[in-house]
Every structure is written in structure tokens, then in C-alpha cells.
Structure 1
């Protein structure tokens, strides 16, 4: 059986119920899908949204369902083009990010599939944690390796919804915009304590049942999945000063700069390689810094798909040219060999 396929991966569109982003990712995406994806012929076609596709977090189940529909109604051309992709055989994948974790709710993921592909809902797949294509790629949003945004019991979201999951420290700070600094600091302290407790529950037998189920979905050994779940861990001693630094820099209109592959990416790739489940590409997002680089001490190559919204933080071509939209492309031959890399799409000049 041929393994030939082409994968397009992009992230951080942050589509909202309004359309006030100056870069207008919702207006640019349909052109990319039509000219790059639908125009392609030959192998299987997959489009992966590597998290933060929607502004969809912090809502109840009913609110999440209503908000998802309102976002798609606001971006009608995007909505219709995604429907066209699914109808023409393109497999659509949505990896959950910290801004659209609500997609992990079974009812919300089912609604997304029904809206985008009513005839064949299986054309739309939601990945609460990460997408794994054996021997080819892993795609995860990346917030699980960032203490300020990490949700330790991530898989519980996909089973019980997000109700009851505690906010990460930075999210707890932003959740009280009208509160005093003291009350907001208290929210961060409570979030840190809740995250510490959640990390202990990740190591419990009850959570291990979820990991076993996820290992079957991911086609990975249970021990490997268990190790990956514990690869990054929330620690108050490092998270609190990092949170404080982020808050101060954000108030000054600045951000923490990093132009290299995160250490967690290397740990993730080496963990897979050590278990004979290595992949050619590790693809993540979250930082809004488009980047391609090798990973230390393994054969996997790293790509960060940056962002299509106006909050560009990297020093790539998209910083000086806001009509350069980053994405990753991975081609797989019938023999399973891969090629690809970071690309930039230009609405007027092509990729």
C-alpha cells in the first residue's frame, strides 16, 4: 500500500468572532487552501492546524458550541473553503492549543466535524494532545512544555470537557483584568498550587488509564506515551519568576525572545527515537516565531509554524513582510521517504 502523501501545517490564526486583526488571517486562508491544497494533485492531502486556530477557551460547553459557530459565521469564505477541502478528499486535522482547548470537548469536536464535513465527518479530526504520523512527523502546539500555559491533565479535557480544569498561571492573571494587582497575584498563586496538584494526578493510576487509551490512538507504546506526558512538568519555583517577567515585559510592550528550537522539542524527539519510533519532523507552534532547525543529538528536524495573526514575534521574513504567511510542508514518497521544510505563502506571488 502506498504511503505517498503531502502535509501542509500552519498555526496560530486566532480566528475570533470578530475580524479586526490587521493581518486578516481569516481572509487570507481561503486563497492558500485553494491555490496550494486544492490545486495539488496526486497523493493523499492533509492540512494540519497546529493549535490556536480559534479563540475558543474559558467557555462552558454550550458557550463553546455557540462561539465556534459564530466564529465560522464571521469567516464565511474560510468556512466554505474548508467544507470544499473536506468534500474533495482533503483530511483536516485540528491540534488543540491553549487558546482553543475547548475543541477537545467531544461535543465541540463533533460539532466542528459536522459543520465542516456533514456528509463524511471523519474527514475532520481533532487531536487533544498531538498528532503522530509513524516515521514521518509529530505535530503538537507546544504549550504543554511551557509552564505558564501548561495544562497537566490535558487528556481529561477530552473525556470530561474543560470544566474543572485549573487555569495556568499566566491565564489566571489575565482572567482577572479588572482586579487589583494583589487579587490577580493571588489568582496566580492559586493556579500554581492547582498545577502542582494536577502534576501529581498525572502520575496516578486514574490518569494512566487515559494515557493507555491515548497510546492506542497515537499508535505508540504505552511506556513511551507515559514518558512523553511527564516530559515537561510544572514547577512553581521556576514558573513564578517567569510569570512575573512576562507580565512586566508585556506591560512594556515587549516579549521574551528566543530564536532556537526549544529544549523540550529535542527531548520529545529523542524519546521517540530511543523507543524506535523516531520521526523525520517535529512540528510545533505557540511562540509565534517561525523557525526551522536541526535538533541536537537526533535525526529529527524541527519546524515552528509561526503565526498568521498580526502578533509576529520572530525575525523571519514575516516580520518585515506581513504578506508572508509561514507554513510547513512535508512530502512522503510511496516508499515512506520524506522531504519538506518551512515555507512562506504570499497571496499575490504564490509560495
Structure 2
């Protein structure tokens, strides 16, 4: 992969494409127009299009179910499939960072199916990143759910290796996985998910997972100690997660959500770890919260971007809240000398 010189990076997130098309913002219908206009043929420039997680709705599915669902999603959104195929034909490199709603992409078979659908002639043009995407000195992108206890899936790298382990549902997903069950039954599922998460956290800090992290550091070309520190930066703890889960349930029942208008605390810690190991980046990009945001990180040269959502579940205070036909994305240009420019942008289908 070109490590950033003379390149353009476009990043979007949280489309939540599903087998239905009932989202009022219609992200599956809007995306092809965005790709046609914002990712044109650009001879001499290497273009990268990054989906920063929750691109698809695959939560809690088995391997075979995930494969079938992925096929069905593109059958429901054929224009999106054609637009992504056209990007590949123009030489664009596609990247899919796993989120909590499409962590099943980490399974090798599901990643291979995605590549076969979008780039049958050259599957290497489609890359799935189970955890994060790192471009030295330029950017680091991760979905962000691993810093949120209620959605944290600690052992995602194990899934990328053997395709089956590591996908225990986190507490909040366990609650929503069976909406027809009684509250008592769903509470029991949350309790089991908490126990599974606690066990997973212990394994993530053990020698066996260290081997996976070492392999990941080689794939990322990122300092091994930095990778271990990033993997252990956040941690699920039942004693703090259960009250937060209860709060989220109450807010959801009343049609509200937890507010927030600044970079998450984890963002500054991520930037600090990278800087401490000589692996600093100009931009740290995450998603997950559905709040589009750009801000500086205190005490760091790294700028933070949250790419928001293209779904109707907008939670920020930006123009995409006021006009639901405004869609956020991040644009990062890298000059030949390595300097970067760009930031959070908003796209409107009717704009000139």
C-alpha cells in the first residue's frame, strides 16, 4: 500500500446498510452519487476510500448467515454495488474497518466474499481491517466501539485468525439481540455477556493474545509496544458497565440519548500512545457515536475527526442534524512532501 505520499483519503462511516431500505435518509441510494462526484478518476493520484465501521448490519450472525446477509444487502442496494465496483475500476483502494454492527467482516470468509463482490478481478483492491487502519505519519482510523464498554468486543483479532472465536455479544448488543424475549430473559443475556466480556479482557492481557498483537503490529507496520498499549487502553468492567447499560436503556425508552460535543477521552490517549512511540499521526479518525465532529486534541498536534453517520440516527449538533440531506465525511490530502490538509466535510446530493 502507498503509505500516504501524494494520496487522497476519503472516509465515511455508519451507513448501516441492511436488507431493507426503510431509513428515511436512504444512505444506500445517496452513496452512489457521492462516489461518482467525490471519487472521480484522478490519474496520477492514489485514492483511498475508507468505511470506518458499521457499514453493514451483520450483528450477531453466524458465519453462513453473515455471508448470506452480505449478498442480500447488495441485492437490495445494486446501485451501491455498481458504484463501488466502478471505484475499483478507477484504481481506488477500498478499506473497510470493522465496527460493532459489522464485526463479522473480520471473519476471513466474510472478508473474502466482500472482496469477491466488489473486486472480482483483483480482490486485493478491497481490504478489511478488523481493528484499525494505520498510515504512518498521516492517520489512524478505528470505529471507536472498543473504547465503549457496552459495545466493546475485546478479542476481535482472534476472529480474524480463525473465523469463529471472539465474537461474544457485548452487553448492549445482548440486550437488543432478542427484543421479543421478556425483560428478565434479556437481563440474563446481559449478565452472561458481562461475564464473557470479563473473561475476554483477561485473555486479551495474556501471552496468547500477545502473539496476535505482534502479528498485527507487523501488518500495520506499527511499534509492537504501541499496539499492545492501544489494545489495552480501554477495558470492560461490569461494576461500571451495568449502571451505564441501565442508563442507556432508560434514555432509549424515552427517545433520548447521551449527549456529547467533544472528542472522547480515549482519542487523546490514543494520540499520546502513538506519540510516545514515535508513531504520531496528523489525524485520528473514529466514528460510532453518530456525532460528526472535528476538534484539536489538547496537548497534541493530532487533530480528531468523528465521521458521524449517514443513517437517520444523527446525534450531533452539526448541519446534518438541521438538514437530513447533508452527509458528513472526512477528506485528507497528502502532498508529495508528506504534509497533510483536509478535515471534516459535508456533502449534499443537490449541491453544485
Same fold? TM cut 0.5: yes
- Structure 1 CA distance, aligned partners of 2:79 and 2:187? 42
How far does the alpha carbon of each residue in 1:250-274 deviate from its partner, in whole angstroms, 9 at most, with x for none? 0111000011000001100110011
User: Which position in structure 2 is the counterpart of 1:215?
Assistant: 217
User: Which position in structure 2 is the counterpart of 1:288?
Assistant: 290
User: Which position in structure 2 is the counterpart of 1:256?
Assistant: 258
- Structure 1 CA distance, aligned partners of 2:229 and 2:341? 28
Deviation at 1:41, TM superposition (A): 4.9
- Structure 2 CA distance, aligned partners of 1:97 and 1:334? 32
5+ residue gaps, structure 1 = none
Count how many residue pairs are aligned between Structure 1 and Structure 2: 350
Kept in 2, the 8 Å contact 1:51–1:286? The answer is yes
Are 1:226 and 2:228 matched, yes or no?
A: yes
Secondary structure in 2 aligned to 1:92? strand
Kept in 1, the 8 Å contact 2:41–2:90? The answer is no
Secondary structure in 1 aligned to 2:281? coil
Deviation at 1:61, TM superposition (A): 1.1
User: Which position in structure 2 is the counterpart of 1:178?
Assistant: 180
User: Which position in structure 2 is the counterpart of 1:66?
Assistant: 68
TM value normalised by structure 2: 0.97
Q: Which deviates further from its counterpart, 10-19 or 31-40?
A: 31-40
User: Which position in structure 2 is the counterpart of 1:323?
Assistant: 325
Q: Quick one: structure 1 residues 141 and 81, their matched pair in 2 at CA, closer, same or farther if it must change by over 3 Å?
A: same
**Superposition pairs of residues 60-139 of structure 1, within 5 angstroms:** 60-139=62-141
- Structure 1 CA distance, aligned partners of 2:120 and 2:41? 23
Secondary structure in 2 aligned to 1:280? strand
User: Which position in structure 2 is the counterpart of 1:157?
Assistant: 159
Deviation at 1:187, TM superposition (A): 1.4
Alignment RMSD, CA only? 1.2
Determine which of 183, 188, 192 is the counterpart of 2:190.
188
Kept in 2, the 8 Å contact 1:51–1:96? The answer is yes
Deviation at 1:203, TM superposition (A): 1.0
Secondary structure in 2 aligned to 1:255? coil
User: Which position in structure 2 is the counterpart of 1:9?
Assistant: 11
Secondary structure in 1 aligned to 2:55? coil
- Structure 2 CA distance, aligned partners of 1:24 and 1:126? 24
Secondary structure in 2 aligned to 1:38? coil
Are 1:51 and 2:53 matched, yes or no?
A: yes
Deviation at 1:204, TM superposition (A): 1.1
- Structure 1 CA distance, aligned partners of 2:279 and 2:300? 12
Q: Quick one: structure 1 residues 164 and 9, their matched pair in 2 at CA, closer, same or farther if it must change by over 3 Å?
A: closer
Q: Which deviates further from its counterpart, 96-105 or 176-185?
A: 176-185
- Structure 1 CA distance, aligned partners of 2:168 and 2:98? 17
Kept in 1, the 8 Å contact 2:159–2:166? The answer is no
Deviation at 1:166, TM superposition (A): 1.7
- Structure 2 CA distance, aligned partners of 1:280 and 1:217? 20
- Structure 1 CA distance, aligned partners of 2:347 and 2:153? 32
Runs of 4 or more above 2 Å deviation: 39-42, 160-165
Q: Which deviates further from its counterpart, 151-160 or 224-233?
A: 151-160
Are 1:338 and 2:332 matched, yes or no?
A: no
Deviation at 1:340, TM superposition (A): 0.4
Q: Which deviates further from its counterpart, 173-182 or 305-314?
A: 173-182
TM value normalised by structure 1: 0.98
Secondary structure in 2 aligned to 1:94? strand
Kept in 2, the 8 Å contact 1:102–1:162? The answer is no
